[in-house]
Amino acid sequence: MERTGERWFAAELNRHKGQLLLRQGYFEAAEELYRKALSTAEEQEAKLWELRAAMSLAQLRCDQSRHAEARDLLAPVYGWFTEGFDTADLKKAKALLDQLA
């Protein structure tokens, strides 16, 4: 990404880096990368990447027993979608929102 200047995958790349760090127990670093992924996706108006980043950050919040924050983060992103509710990403987001209700 740095070498070519291509940034269309930047949000998803940061989210994946965050997942790797989370698995290693680096919660704060993972959160920082999830926030960066979310910000990048919002700037690019990349709704799928935004949904995935919001789900990752919301799941982290859920794991920290911060359910209201998780719901407040994920619900508006999920609410943007008007179709595609049978896709894996939207099904996962809906399941997480149901869990947070």
pLDDT at residue 5 tops 80: no
Please state, in angstroms and rounded to a whole number, the distance separating the CA atoms of residues 61 and 63: 5
**Entry pTM:** 0.90
Q: How much is the pLDDT for 64?
A: 94
Q: Is 86 exposed, middle or buried (0-12, 13-18, 19+ CB in 10 A)?
A: exposed
With 60 as the cut, is the pLDDT of residue 6 above it?
A: no
What pLDDT digit, counting tens, does each position of 40-98 carry?
999 999 999 999 999 999 999 999 999 999 999 999 999 999 999 999 999 999 999 99
